[in-house]
Amino acid sequence: GDGTNVGEEVDYTITGIEPGAGITEATDNALKEYENLAGWEQQNSSTTAMLTALADAIENEEPIVIAGWSPHFKFAKYDLKYLEDPKGVYGDVEYISTIVRKGLKEEKPEAYKILDRFHWETEDMESVMLAAQDMEFEKAAQQWVDENQEKVAEWTKGVEPVDGTSIELVLTPWDTERSSAHVAKIVLEEQGFEVKLTPVDPSIMFQAIAEGDGDASLAPWLPATHGAFYEKFEGEFEDLGENLKGAKIGLVVPTYMDIDSIEDLKP
Ligand code: PBE
């Protein structure tokens, strides 16, 4: 087909994820910005529901338009493509940043040092996410730590062990962030910290760090995905810079769909 009836085929619906996700807000913006999306809707429920709908569509080679992101196993499992986004609503390449509460550097300098150094590659995160398909995140993260002792040693070099100092890491409820949070937890625990992981929505994550309810988060996707939340609390937390490069969000379709751009989604 030439893509002219895609809208009708998918009932003018973008299959989204949780209402509180950054990508949900970006998709709401896309619905406003692209004139050709007039009359389209975003359906929000959960990542699990989106993945089920995607699996069903692919099984039947039916069209589907999802709110998608990478790193994520769906790209390894299925043939998928990002739709071009000529208006740049979803931003370009994203990075994941580490933010900490003000005062952490002075109060828990050893944790600060480790968090400041924590960075890894897309492949590292993906290997934890893949392993976690068959086991708990705790185990998958432990496996990564065991296999990457050199990298971990770089983060902990010269850091004095502590005796049960508590530290709270705030994360968002997606596998990318479960991976980084569990790896950081293990590394901090090996240094004697007592680590609590608290999953919250992206908007709450920035607020929690700004208000000092949590110590740190490895979960902000920037500059676009969580950019609005970031700006709202800017100056009220410390940004330690990227811990992973090369993330991305956007509208995603199976490669068998004969469209390339968001502008090919017809009203
Ligand atoms: N995500 C994964 C999240 C952040 C990590 C892209 C689904 C979001 O807030 O959209």
pLDDT tens-digit readout, 139-174: 999 999 999 999 999 999 999 999 999 999 999 999
Residue 5: pLDDT band by 50, 70, 90 thresholds? confident
Residue 176: name the closest of 132, 129, 140, 244 by CA: 129
Which of 17, 29, 69 has most ligand 1 atoms within 8 Å of its beta carbon, as the pocket-test mutant? Answer: 69
Tell me the chain's radius of gyration from C-alpha atoms.
20
User: At residue 206, does pLDDT exceed 80?
Assistant: yes
**What residue ranges line ligand 1, CB within 6 angstroms?**
17, 21-23, 69, 172, 174, 176, 202, 221, 225, 249
Determine the distance separating the centroid of ligand 1 and the alpha carbon of 7, expressed in angstroms.
25
Band of residue 1 on the pLDDT scale cut at 50, 70, 90 = very low
Strands 94-100 and 66-70: unpaired
**Per-residue confidence (pLDDT) for residue 7, from 0 to 100:** 94
* pLDDT attached to residue 267: 82
Beta-sheet strands, E only, within the chain: 13-15, 41-43, 66-70, 80-82, 94-100, 166-171, 194-199, 216-217, 221-222, 238-254
4 or 174, greater pLDDT: 174
At residue 65, does pLDDT exceed 60?
yes
Q: How far is the CA of 202 from the centre of ligand 1 (A)?
A: 8
- 8, with CB counted inside 10 A (0-12, 13-18, 19+), is exposed
Q: Give residue 23 CA to ligand 1 midpoint distance, Å.
A: 6
pLDDT higher than 90, residue 2: no
Q: Return the residue matching tokens 């608290």.
A: 198
With contact defined as beta carbons under 8 Å apart, do 195 and 188 qualify? yes
Non-local (6+) Cβ contacts of 110 within 8 A are 159, 160, 161, 162, 165, 191
* Domains defined for the chain, CATH in brackets: 6-92+249-264 (3.40.190.100), 94-247 (3.10.105.10)
d(C-alpha 60, C-alpha 5), whole Å: 18
**Measured torsion, CA atoms of residues 209, 152, 128, 166, in degrees rounded to the nearest 10:** -40
How far apart CA 217 and CA 42 sit, in angstroms, is 28
Q: What does pLDDT average to over the chain?
A: 96
Q: What is the dihedral of CA 171, 172, 178, 182, to 10 degrees?
A: 10
Q: Which pLDDT does position 233 carry in this prediction?
A: 97
Close Cβ partners of 106 (under 8 Å, ≥ 6 residues apart): none
Instruction: Please identify, by atom number, the ligand 1 atom nearest to the C-alpha of residue 221.
Output: 4
- Whether 222 has a pLDDT exceeding 50, the answer reads yes
Q: Pairing mode, if any, of strands 238-254 and 94-100?
A: antiparallel
Output the pLDDT for position 3. 46
Centre of ligand 1 to C-alpha 165, Å, is: 30
DSSP labels for 88-124? -TT-SSEEEEEEE-TTHHHHSHHHHHHHHH----HHH
Give me the mean pLDDT over the 82-93 stretch.
97
Q: How is residue 15 written in tokens?
A: 């299959």
Tokens read off for 147: 């296999």
Q: Region 37-54: what's the mean pLDDT?
A: 97
At 4, the pLDDT band (50, 70, 90 cuts) reads: low
For residues 252 and 68, what is the distance between their CA atoms, to the nearest angstrom? 5
pLDDT beyond 70 at 19? yes
